[in-house]
Structure 1
Amino acid sequence: MHVTHTQLRKMTLDELEELEQELHDKEDDIEYSLYPQKIDVYKEMHKRLQKSVKENKEEEFYLEYIKKQLLICLIHYGTYLKMKYIKDDRMAMSCLEEALKYDRRNPIAAYRIGFLFYKQAKYYNALNYFQMAISNQTYDESRKDYLLNQQQVINAHLYLTNSALYIAANTQDDLDAMKHPNQQELPNYEFSSLYRSLKENETYLEKNAFYKVSQDGKVMCSKQECEEFVHENELTNTLLLYFNDRDIKLYFRGYYYQISPDHAGILRYLLTSTSQHSPGTRMKMSSYFRDCHVNGEPSRDTFKQAISRLRRRLKSLKIPEIIQTTNHHGELAYYFDGTLSYYVMYRVDETIE
Structure 2
Amino acid sequence: MRSGTLEELEEIEQNLLDEEEETGQRNYSMRIELYKEMYNRLKPLARKQNDVYKNYIENVQQSLVYDLIHYGTYLKTEYQKDDHLAAICLEDALKYDRHNPIAAYRLGFLSYKQKNYSSALLYFENALRFQRYDSSHKYKLNSQQQVNAHLYLTNSALYIAQESAKKLNQLSAKENLEISYDDIDSLYTKIFETEKYLQRNAFYNITKNGKIKCSKKECEKLVESQPPKTMILYFNDRTIVAVYEDKEAVLTGDQGNMLKQFILNSTEESPLTRAAFSITHNINLNTYIQSARRLRNKLIDNGFPPMIQTTRYQDETAYYFDESYSYHVLYRVDEEIE
The answer to whether TM tops 0.5 is yes
Measured in 2, the distance between the counterparts of 1:274 and 1:139 equals 35
Matched, 1:38 2:31: yes
Q: Is the 8 A contact 2:247 2:302 kept in 1?
A: no
Output aligned runs, 1:334-345, within 5 Å: 334-345=319-330
Q: Is the 8 A contact 1:31 1:260 kept in 2?
A: no
Matched, 1:118 2:118: no
Matched residue, 1:4: none
Residue 332 of structure 1, CA deviation: 5.7
Measured in 2, the distance between the counterparts of 1:317 and 1:28 equals 25
Measured in 1, the distance between the counterparts of 2:43 and 2:136 equals 17
Question: What 5-or-longer segments of structure 2 have no aligned partner?
Answer: none
Structure 1 residues 32, 173: closer, same or farther in 2, change over 3 A? Answer: farther
Q: Is the 8 A contact 2:100 2:127 kept in 1?
A: yes
Residue 328 of structure 1, CA deviation: 5.4
Matched residue, 2:175: 183
Q: Which has the higher mean CA deviation after the structures are superposed, 269-278 or 135-144?
A: 135-144
Matched residue, 2:305: 320
Residue 263 of structure 1, CA deviation: 0.8
Matched, 1:306 2:291: yes
Residue 138 of structure 1, CA deviation: 4.0
Q: Is the 8 A contact 2:28 2:75 kept in 1?
A: no
Residue 19 of structure 1, CA deviation: 2.0
Matched, 1:65 2:50: no
Structure 1 residues 331, 344: closer, same or farther in 2, change over 3 A? Answer: same
Matched, 1:256 2:241: no
Structure 1 residues 320, 70: closer, same or farther in 2, change over 3 A? Answer: same
Matched, 1:173 2:158: no
Residues 254-287 of structure 1: per-residue CA shift (max 9 Å, x gap):
1212111101101101101222344334444334
Instruction: Say what the alpha-carbon RMSD is for the aligned residues.
Output: 2.5
Matched, 1:85 2:101: no
- DSSP-derived class of the 1:220 partner: strand
Q: Is the 8 A contact 1:210 1:348 kept in 2?
A: yes
User: Residue 141 of structure 2: which of 132, 148, 173 is its match?
Assistant: 148
Measured in 2, the distance between the counterparts of 1:162 and 1:26 equals 47
Measured in 2, the distance between the counterparts of 1:107 and 1:270 equals 27
Question: What 5-or-longer segments of structure 1 have no aligned partner?
Answer: 1-7
Measured in 1, the distance between the counterparts of 2:92 and 2:254 equals 22
Q: 1:210 corresponds to which letter in structure 2?
A: F
Residue 29 of structure 1, CA deviation: 6.0
Measured in 2, the distance between the counterparts of 1:218 and 1:120 equals 29
Residues 38-74 of structure 1: per-residue CA shift (max 9 Å, x gap):
2111111001111222343222111111111111121
User: Residue 280 of structure 1: which of 256, 272, 275 is its match?
Assistant: 272
Q: 1:216 corresponds to which letter in structure 2?
A: N
Q: Which has the higher mean CA deviation after the structures are superposed, 66-75 or 211-220?
A: 211-220
Measured in 1, the distance between the counterparts of 2:20 and 2:155 equals 41
Matched, 1:218 2:211: yes
What TM-score, normalized by structure 1, do the two folds share?
Answer: 0.86
Output aligned runs, 1:226-241, within 5 Å: 226-231=219-224, 233-241=225-233
Q: 2:244 corresponds to which letter in structure 1?
A: F
Q: Is the 8 A contact 1:33 1:77 kept in 2?
A: no
Structure 1 residues 211, 19: closer, same or farther in 2, change over 3 A? Answer: same
Measured in 2, the distance between the counterparts of 1:127 and 1:35 equals 30
Structure 1 residues 309, 234: closer, same or farther in 2, change over 3 A? Answer: closer
How many pairs were matched up? 336
Structure 1 residues 65, 140: closer, same or farther in 2, change over 3 A? Answer: farther
Q: 1:265 corresponds to which letter in structure 2?
A: N
Residue 14 of structure 1, CA deviation: 2.9
Q: 1:17 corresponds to which letter in structure 2?
A: E
Measured in 2, the distance between the counterparts of 1:84 and 1:209 equals 24
Matched residue, 2:190: 197
Q: Which has the higher mean CA deviation after the structures are superposed, 278-287 or 199-208?
A: 278-287
Matched, 1:106 2:91: no
Q: Is the 8 A contact 1:34 1:82 kept in 2?
A: no
Residue 335 of structure 1, CA deviation: 2.4
Measured in 1, the distance between the counterparts of 2:202 and 2:135 equals 29
Residues 172-230 of structure 1: per-residue CA shift (max 9 Å, x gap):
111101136x9314521443333322211111100011111122222111111111222
Residue 251 of structure 1, CA deviation: 1.4
